Structure 1
Amino acid sequence: MYIIGGFECNTNLELALYELEELGFREEDIFIVEMKHPRNSERLINSIHSSDGKSLMDSITAWGVVVGTLGIIYGSQLLIGPIATGLLGLVVGAMIGFLTDLKVNKNKKKKRSNIDVLLIIHCKTEEREEKIKKILQKFLVVTIGVHK
């Protein structure tokens, strides 16, 4: 059976490895896999097939409609007329929506997995499995899995 533990890359991983070796595990029974976090390019506009949860078009449209409508309503009082002020309000509202969305999305941090290293340990008995789990939990493992 294999016991898999996900660790952050820190001294707890080294201490867990040391204690596992003290318990009698050989280097052939312990596998370490470094996890790579790919960088995805962020797009400003989502498509039908993929979305990253950050839609700029919603805010741009909402702000454009609101400020454009206000421009039409109050533009009848101005010299240039309601159509021109409505179009001007649409452009200004779209810029407000775009800048608001950029500010909001910039402040949101993308969640990243805390697992930097996978530790895979091969063991043969149930009692050793329990010992391994206790050692991993002692050294703050993020996740534990067992494959039998």
Structure 2
Amino acid sequence: MQIFVTFEYSTLLEIAITELEEKGITEIYAVPLDPRKKHPRLLDSIHRSDGLSLVDKGMVLAFMFATIGATKGFVWDWGPVIWGLIGAAAGFITGVLLNWIIYLLKRHKNERELKKGKTGEVILIVTCEENNVSVVEDILWDHQALGLAITK
């Protein structure tokens, strides 16, 4: 049986490996994952998306500001069409700037965490007999495993 486990790299991982070796399980393979080094792209294409979008808040605010501008445009000079377009442009720019500021703050926070010493995760592959699976599983969960999968 093989057990695949993910851990955040810490001393608990080392202790779990030591306990497994004390129980007679010697086929243990640990693979550290490299943290992301490049920042996500700011503009998504139709074929690739990373979940980061700068225009979502811009579109919502453009709709809201255009509605308000068109409504007030019936009273103001230049009319509802021009004020609706001005409101849409102002809302879109406000939303994009808001998303840009939020992105920069999150990126700065993530860079600080990486500099602080937050390391990547580790995948641990443990090969053992079927009668040892529950013991291995208990040891791994007791040492704060993030996820666990068992295969035959």
Distance 1:18 1:143 in 2: 19
Distance 2:120 2:52 in 1: 25
Q: How many residues align?
A: 141
TM-score of the two chains, using structure 2 as the length reference: 0.68
Contact 1:115 1:142 in 2 (8 A): no
User: Which residue is 1:62 aligned to?
Assistant: 60
Residue 100 (1) aligns with residue 105 (2): no
In structure 2, the CA distance between the partners of 1:8 and 1:84, relative to structure 1 (3 Å rule), is same
User: Which residue is 1:24 aligned to?
Assistant: 24
Distance 2:4 2:98 in 1: 43
Distance 1:143 1:45 in 2: 32
TM-score of the two chains, using structure 1 as the length reference: 0.70
Aligned AA (2:19): E
Contact 1:45 1:57 in 2 (8 A): no
| Residues 54-133 of structure 1 aligned to structure 2 (within 5 Å) | 54-75=52-73, 77-78=75-76, 81-82=78-79, 85-103=83-101, 116-123=121-128, 125-133=129-137
Aligned AA (2:89): V
Distance 1:38 1:141 in 2: 21
Identity, in percent, stands at 31
Distance 1:25 1:5 in 2: 15
Which of 126, 135, 145 does residue 141 from structure 1 map onto? 145
In structure 2, the CA distance between the partners of 1:146 and 1:72, relative to structure 1 (3 Å rule), is closer
Q: Which runs of 5+ in 1 are unaligned?
A: none
How far 1:38 moved relative to its partner?
Answer: 2.9
Contact 2:31 2:123 in 1 (8 A): yes
How far 1:15 moved relative to its partner?
Answer: 0.9
Distance 2:121 2:106 in 1: 24
Larger Rg: 1
User: Which residue is 2:45 aligned to?
Assistant: 47
Equivalent position SS for 2:55: helix
